[in-house]
Amino acid sequence: MTQIAFIGLGVMGAPMASNLINAGHDVTCFTRTPEKGRALVEKGARMAGSVAEAVQTAEVVITMLPDSPDVQAVVLGEAGVLAHAARGTLLIDASTIKPETSKAISHAATAQGIRALDAPVSGGEAGAIEGSLSIMVGGDREDFDAALPTLRALGSTIVHVGPSGAGQTVKAANQLMVAGHLQLLAEALVFLDAHSVDLESAINVLGGGLAGSTVLQRKSPNMLKRNFTPGFRIDLHHKDLGIVIDSARAAGVSIPLGAHVAELVASLRAQGAGGLDHSALLLQVEELSGR
């Protein structure tokens, strides 16, 4: 049993914290909206009144926050993790943030005697609930080995991909692929519908061929039911594609299709859809097609 502080109980954080409790860990949570922790308290978690209180006795601290500035505030701020966690604590940031922010956090953590890993995840809300996330980890190998018993409660594919920041770079590539695939799924469904093909039958057979994928399997039901409750908010996907574009530019890599999908996501968001699930890309294809 490990004493774990878990910070950020949103769509992903709440089920992840729940799986850590199921695995027998001693979990103390902190989030901005304490009501989000009620179900976890019923399962045996403690709710702390501040980051400082949550982390001071923790062996492992996990953060699952929206964006780079959120992680910077929670980890580096005056009342944050580095100011209050004990030396030797293992900090695992599972949020999707800029690789350079992860590197800066790791640097600052090391100076305080705290070990830091970037460990962004893929698999969505369903993967968080099932404990089947894919976890891409950047940082020192021995810290990765130390984190494994904790990470095994959260995911089924857990891979050390390189030094600090490398986890975020792999996650950026993941988001590039997901965005492109999701856009093409939306286009394929509007195309099939325009030809009066039964969409469920089509999805069934497409799933067994080369176009079959987790994106098709997990996101086509949202599109068919027109249920755009997140899931993964357009706002977050927009943030991730910003990371992809900046990282590609910094490395001199051309991503023409990814850049185009990023524009489409930005445009949908500008029309007020930021709070919808990213499967709402379907709405834009319908609009462009006059349907």
* Binding to ligand NAD in span 5-34, by CB under 6 A: 7-13, 30-33
Q: Indicate which residue of 36, 43, 98, 171 is catalytic.
A: 171
Q: How far is the CB of 206 from ligand NAD (least distance, A)?
A: 23
Bond from prior residue into 13 cis (ω within 30 degrees of 0): no
The reply to whether 171 belongs to the active site is yes
Separation CA 168–CA 118 (nearest Å): 7
Tell me the β-bridge partners of 122: 134
36 binds ligand NAD (CB under 6 A): yes
Smaller CB distance to ligand NAD: residue 25 or 237? 237
The answer to whether 119 and 147 have CB atoms below 8 angstroms apart is yes
Cα(114)–Cα(177) distance, rounded to whole angstroms? 33
CB of 70 to ligand NAD, least distance (A): 4
CB of 229 to ligand NAD, least distance (A): 12
Nearer to ligand NAD, 101 or 122 (CB): 122
Q: Could you give the CA distance from residue 169 to residue 159 in angstroms, rounded to a whole number?
A: 13
* Distance in angstroms (rounded) separating the CA atoms of residues 149 and 1: 10
The residues in 40-69 that bind ligand NAD, with binding defined as CB under 6 A, are: 64-66
| Closer Cβ to ligand NAD, 39 or 202, answer by number | 39
Per-residue CA distances from 74 to 17, 91, 169, 183 (Å): 17, 12, 22, 34
Distance, CA of 91 to CA of 129 (rounded, Å): 22
Q: State in angstroms the smallest separation of the CB of 188 from ligand NAD.
A: 22
Contacts to ligand NAD from residues 129-188, by CB under 6 A: none
Q: What's the min distance (Å) between Cβ of 13 and ligand NAD?
A: 5
How many residues sit in the footprint of ligand NAD (CB under 6 A)?
28
Question: Residue 60 carries which DSSP code?
Answer: E
Residues 6+ apart with CB under 8 A from 90: 59, 60, 61, 114, 115, 116, 117, 143, 146, 147, 150
What's the CA gap between 78 and 147, in Å, rounded? Answer: 26
**60-63 vs 3-7, strand pairing mode:** parallel
Residue 242 as a binder of ligand NAD (CB under 6 A): the answer is no
Of residues 5, 245, 40, 19, the one with CA closest to residue 127 = 19
Q: Could you say which DSSP state residue 64 is in?
A: -
Q: Kindly state whether residue 96 participates in binding ligand NAD, applying the rule CB under 6 A.
A: yes
Exactly one of 20, 185, 236, 273 binds ligand NAD (CB under 6 A); that residue is 236
Q: Which is nearer to ligand NAD, 35 or 42 (CB)?
A: 35
Q: Show the binding pattern over residues 195-234: x = contacts ligand NAD (CB under 6 A), - = does not.
A: ------------------------------------xx--
Contact (CB, 8 A) for 244 and 255? yes
Minimum CB distance to ligand NAD, residue 26 (Å):
20
Q: Which residues are catalytic?
A: 171
Q: Where along the sequence are the contacts to ligand NAD (CB under 6 A)?
A: 7-13, 30-33, 36, 64-66, 70, 73-74, 95-96, 121-122, 124-125, 231-232, 236, 240
